[in-house]
């Protein structure tokens, strides 16, 4: 494996971990340093490809949302809506009280 252009020391990884408020052991720091190098190299390679003449996109293909028309329609009758409810009261779903409400 070739030497990475971005080489992170264990001390730099420890500093990043401290900034993120993550406690890592020495073994974990040594384990994560090469992995972070791979991530940084990948980001750098994407930055090389990004050019001013290529507009930023969120998807590779253009997307169009398909919405149905917002039309007023008849609702279900209250009896049908509450038919399978475990409990109802005054044409509403009855649920347990929360937060000590009266």
**What's the mean pLDDT when you consider all of the chain?**
86
The two tokens of residue 73 are 């329609």
Q: What digits encode the pLDDT tens for the residues 35-79?
A: 999 998 888 887 777 677 777 778 888 888 888 888 999 999 999
| CB-CB contact of 42 with 52 (8 Å) | no
Tokens 């974990």 appear where?
A: 28
Q: Where are the domains of the chain?
A: 10-49
Q: For 15, list phi and psi in degrees, rounded to 5.
A: -65, -45
Looking at residue 66, its pLDDT comes to 85
For the cut 70, the answer to whether the pLDDT of residue 101 exceeds it is no
What is the CATH T-level fold of the domain 10-49, as seen in this structure? Histone, subunit A (1.10.20)
CA distance 12 to 24: 13
| CB-CB contact of 6 with 41 (8 Å) | yes
């Amino acid at each position: 494996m070739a030497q990475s252009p971005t080489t992170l020391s264990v001390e730099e990884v420890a500093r990043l971990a401290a900034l993120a408020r993550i406690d890592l052991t020495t073994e974990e720091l040594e384990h994560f340093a090469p992995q972070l190098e791979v991530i940084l190299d990948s980001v750098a390679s994407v930055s090389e490809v990004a050019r001013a003449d290529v507009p930023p996109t969120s998807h590779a293909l253009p997307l169009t949302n398909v919405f149905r028309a917002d039309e007023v329609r008849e609702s279900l009758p209250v009896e049908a809506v509450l038919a399978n409810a475990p409990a109802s009261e005054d044409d509403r779903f009855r649920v347990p009280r929360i937060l000590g409400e009266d």
